Amino acid sequence: MPNEMILVVDDSPTEQRIVAAALTRQGYRVITAADGDEAIDKAARERPSLVVLDVVMPRKNGFQVCRHLKTTEATRTIKVLLLTGKDQDSDRFWGLKQGADGYLTKPFDDTELLAHVAKLV
């Protein structure tokens, strides 16, 4: 059973709960953040195996957070899965260009999410 820690970042408490519940049922340890600044702080402090990151958030958006994590020595090896409602090819391209290791659009199903997570951790 997996024991990796995953940081779930979403400004919607409902989305946060849905993602966290699916990961917890699978045996992952989950911590959460509600915005980009909190995500950067928690990633640096907790060193999760993976950050599941929403794109549209207040303060710093997911693209900015991803770029920060991937260009900072202490956090650059943490995998990032962007999980977003932004479903245009240009959004996916931009997200991967910021260093994201995966890109999944909402709505998603648990099987799809868990398959992406399993590939990355």
Domain 5-120 has CATH 3.40.50.2300: yes
Cβ contacts of 97 within 8 Å, gap of 6 or more: none
Q: 46: number of CA atoms within 13 Å, CB side?
A: 20
Q: What is the pLDDT of residue 65?
A: 98
How many of the other CB atoms lie within 10 Å of CB of 59? Answer: 13
Q: Residue 51 and residue 32: Cα distance in Å, rounded?
A: 9
Confirm if 116 and 104 have CB atoms less than 8 A apart: yes
Cis bond leading into 107, ω under 30°?
yes
Q: 6: number of CA atoms within 13 Å, CB side?
A: 30
Q: What is the pLDDT of residue 58?
A: 85
Q: What is the pLDDT of residue 2?
A: 67
Domain-wise residue ranges, the chain: 5-120
Farthest-apart Cα atoms in the chain, separation: 36
Using DSSP bridges, classify how beta strands 79-84 and 50-53 pair: parallel, antiparallel or unpaired: parallel
Q: Residue 93 and residue 96: Cα distance in Å, rounded?
A: 5
**Ranges under pLDDT 50 in the chain:** 1
Tokens of 56: 């549209």
